[in-house]
Chains A and B, each alone.
Chain A
Amino acid sequence: MSTRNLLAAALLAVMSGAASAEGPGLGQPLSDEEIPFYARYVMPDGRGLPEGGGTAATGSAIYAEKCATCHGATGIEGPVMPPVGPNDIWAKPAGRYWPYATTLFDYIRRAMPLDAPKSLSDDEAYALAAFILAANGVIGEGDTMDAESLPKVEMPNRDNFLDVWAKQGATPW
């Protein structure tokens, strides 16, 4: 490309709608395939949940192998924020305090176990979510958790939250 064409291209880039009023407009196009899964979050209504599924029985074995050291043999012992409640350590156990079950799947898949995050398959993450929910008595022992069933789980604490941002914005609670 000649110098003149380069200058023209640069001028066009600056003048195009892609450039913001205050910035040089250097953002590069981002295609869907370039976005890793953890750059999105599974939504409470289930949007973003992948195929696959799992049950508490499967999850129990994975839990014993990869989770129990931190969260306790049955999920109530801890020491790290036990997900099963009620327990004596943590007032907000994930499997009964969190408002939406979808968060369990997403967080397990992106962050757990702490020493090997993102190492679990979708099926394993579903199974662990099922195990934690069943241990809390929120679902039945034999229930399969998948993209269909997980968003339908009625978490016992769901309607017990006041949304402070909606109520008063940035005014401290």
Chain B
Amino acid sequence: MKRATDHPSVLDHVAGGGLLNRRLLLQGAVAGGGAALAGATMPRAARAQGAIPEWATVAGERARGYGMPAEAEAHVQRAILEPFADVAPQFSLSGTPHHRLRGTITPNGLHFEVHHGGRPNIDPERHRLMIHGLVERPLQFDLGALERYPMVTATHFLECSGNSLFNAIMPDPMQAGCDLLHGLLSNTEWTGIPMNVLLDEAGVKPEGRWLVATGGDGPSLARSIPVEKLMEDGMLALYQNGERIRPEQGYPMRLLLPGFEGNMNVKWLTSLWATDAPAHTKHESGEYTEILADGSSVKFTFAMGVKSVITHPSATMTMSGSGLYELSGIAWSGAGPIRKVEVSADGGASWAEAELQGPVLPRALTRFRLPWAWEGAPSLLMSRAEDATGAVQPTREAWKARYDASNFLHYNAIQAWQITANGEVQNVYA
């Protein structure tokens, strides 16, 4: 097997700033390179030769019914924002710490949350799903009945349409981790009942073009959903990464609409009301509409655009010296699978195609990676994703030009990270 040397100068460079050929990944040349990032370096004490650590001299802990992360990982938490904590603490945003995660599946306890009215305590025995309105047979289902339906499993991301809002509206880039900057995004293996099975049982009438989905939470959050989407790939999700959906995610059941903005994936789903037109609920009238540059607005902007972000390294991290690293990040699109992710280390002057970690699933997070020889000089990292429809991420400048200055929804511009000469990673607009 060909071995790469420790001298980046003789490695196979594919673009400026030290980007290397992704074939090196397969050859193991940079294995472990990413672990050299700050926070992951091995303490000197652990390298002492021959010492027997104390845990190897005692009996282990007893079994427990539900496992928990290692105590040393207790700092891996969602970043919680309560913008109106004094008067409305139930309104909160909790961001997934993508800079502390690898792979693509979000652990259930770290799935992002956006609450407009807090997390309800629902008795699963009394919860029911109603399907009514313009249907042949108004029906209700309890959890026991639903458990007997055939279930399918699919991996999909959910993204709040307000994800990355700080980069969208702040005049100067906020220095924060991927939890605050891009954390209103998670990726889960969902299991549940195809919505078309339930809708067919109720028999939606031809004039029933929309279904208003309502949650069982205090404010009874409601969104109008086109019947086509529900019939195509909508799911009544009951399980999240194999276990029952968490209360924060809609226990005991939620609507899943792959690729559509998070708010439409109604949690604690209790009603689907078939109508001949959208109801223009509160969330589709104001909160989840976007004002354009000319002062007009767009509504029913359902699907999330193509997007990517380098998570390793990313803002708030510090490089641990020059040398080989593996750049790693996540890409996704509400329109289908990711086709390509390009990475630049010189602020967009040159680009190299990253390796996509398979399987590349539609409307799911895809991890990309590329070896990189950081030369210890200032460097500007970017990633640019393209989906199967050919859509490509815009620059921040191009995105801002489309919208009113107040808009922070559906932001999918290219993220740039500045690496300073002393290795600090900063959020920048470029």
Binding site for B on A (CB under 8 A): 18-32, 34-35, 38-44, 69-70, 79-81, 91-92, 94, 97-100, 102-103, 106-107, 110-112, 114-115, 117-118, 157, 160-166, 169-173
Asked whether, in the complex, the Cβ of A28 is within 8 Å of the Cβ of B281, the reply is: no
Asked whether, in the complex, the Cβ of B286 is within 8 Å of the Cβ of A173, the reply is: no
Cα distance A169–B259 in the bound complex, in angstroms: 12
Interface majority SS (helix, strand, loop, mixed), chain A: loop
| Shortest CB distance B379–A (Å) | 31
Asked whether, in the complex, the Cβ of B198 is within 8 Å of the Cβ of A23, the reply is: yes
B200 within 8 A of A: yes
Cα distance A30–B198 in the bound complex, in angstroms: 14
Asked whether, in the complex, the Cβ of B212 is within 8 Å of the Cβ of A164, the reply is: no
Q: Which of B219, B229, B271, B298 contacts A162 (CB 8 A)?
A: B298
**5 nearest A-B residue pairs (beta carbon):** A27-B139, A111-B219, A41-B279, A39-B271, A165-B300
Instruction: Give the contact stretch, choosing among B127-135, B313-321, B322-330.
Output: B127-135
B350 within 8 A of A: no
Cα distance A91–B406 in the bound complex, in angstroms: 7
Q: How many residues of B contact A (CB 8 A)?
A: 79
B296 within 8 A of A: yes
Which chain B residues in 295-313 approach chain A with CB under 8 Å?
Answer: 295-306
| Shortest CB distance B427–A (Å) | 24
Asked whether, in the complex, the Cβ of B291 is within 8 Å of the Cβ of A92, the reply is: yes
B150 within 8 A of A: yes
Cα distance A159–B110 in the bound complex, in angstroms: 41
Asked whether, in the complex, the Cβ of A172 is within 8 Å of the Cβ of B303, the reply is: yes
Q: A92-B287, A173-B301 are in contact. Are A99 and B280 (CB under 8 A)?
A: yes
Asked whether, in the complex, the Cβ of A106 is within 8 Å of the Cβ of B281, the reply is: yes
| Shortest CB distance B217–A (Å) | 9
CB-CB < 8 A to B194: which residues of A?
A: 22
Asked whether, in the complex, the Cβ of A22 is within 8 Å of the Cβ of B197, the reply is: yes
Q: A40-B212, A107-B281 are in contact. Are A165 and B302 (CB under 8 A)?
A: yes
B27 within 8 A of A: no
Instruction: Give the contact stretch, choosing among B43-51, B141-149, B351-359.
Output: B141-149
Binding site for A on B (CB under 8 A): 83-84, 86-88, 90-91, 117, 130-133, 137-142, 145-146, 148-150, 193-194, 197-198, 200-202, 212, 214, 218-222, 224, 226, 228-229, 259-260, 270-271, 273, 275, 277, 279-282, 285-287, 289-291, 295-306, 333-335, 389, 391, 404, 406-407, 410
12 residue pairs from A and B, CB less than 8 Å apart: A27-B131, A29-B140, A35-B271, A38-B220, A42-B279, A70-B84, A79-B84, A94-B282, A114-B90, A164-B302, A165-B300, A166-B300
Cα distance A165–B286 in the bound complex, in angstroms: 16
| Shortest CB distance B285–A (Å) | 4
Q: Which of B220, B277, B285 contacts A110 (CB 8 A)?
A: B220
| Shortest CB distance A10–B (Å) | 13
Tell me which of B133, B279, B285, B295 has the highest count of chain A C-beta atoms within 10 A of its own C-beta: B285
Asked whether, in the complex, the Cβ of B298 is within 8 Å of the Cβ of A30, the reply is: no
Cα distance A20–B231 in the bound complex, in angstroms: 14
Asked whether, in the complex, the Cβ of B131 is within 8 Å of the Cβ of A39, the reply is: no
Task: List 16 other contacts, CB 8 Å, given A35-B130, A35-B132, A110-B222.
Answer: A20-B201, A24-B149, A30-B131, A38-B222, A40-B212, A80-B87, A92-B291, A97-B285, A106-B281, A106-B282, A111-B218, A114-B117, A114-B218, A163-B300, A164-B298, A170-B303
CB-CB < 8 A to A170: which residues of B?
A: 229, 259-260, 302-303, 334-335
CB-CB < 8 A to B84: which residues of A?
A: 70, 79-80
Q: A42-B279, A161-B297, A162-B298 are in contact. Are A25 and B220 (CB under 8 A)?
A: no
Name B222's closest neighbour in chain A (CB-CB): A41
| Shortest CB distance B300–A (Å) | 4
Cα distance A114–B137 in the bound complex, in angstroms: 34
Cα distance A112–B260 in the bound complex, in angstroms: 27
Asked whether, in the complex, the Cβ of B299 is within 8 Å of the Cβ of A161, the reply is: yes
CB-CB < 8 A to A20: which residues of B?
A: 197-198, 200-201
CB-CB < 8 A to B140: which residues of A?
A: 27-30, 34
CB-CB < 8 A to B407: which residues of A?
A: 91
Q: Which of A28, A117, A172 contacts B139 (CB 8 A)?
A: A28
Cα distance A39–B269 in the bound complex, in angstroms: 10
| Shortest CB distance B277–A (Å) | 7
| Shortest CB distance A145–B (Å) | 17
Cα distance A91–B202 in the bound complex, in angstroms: 41
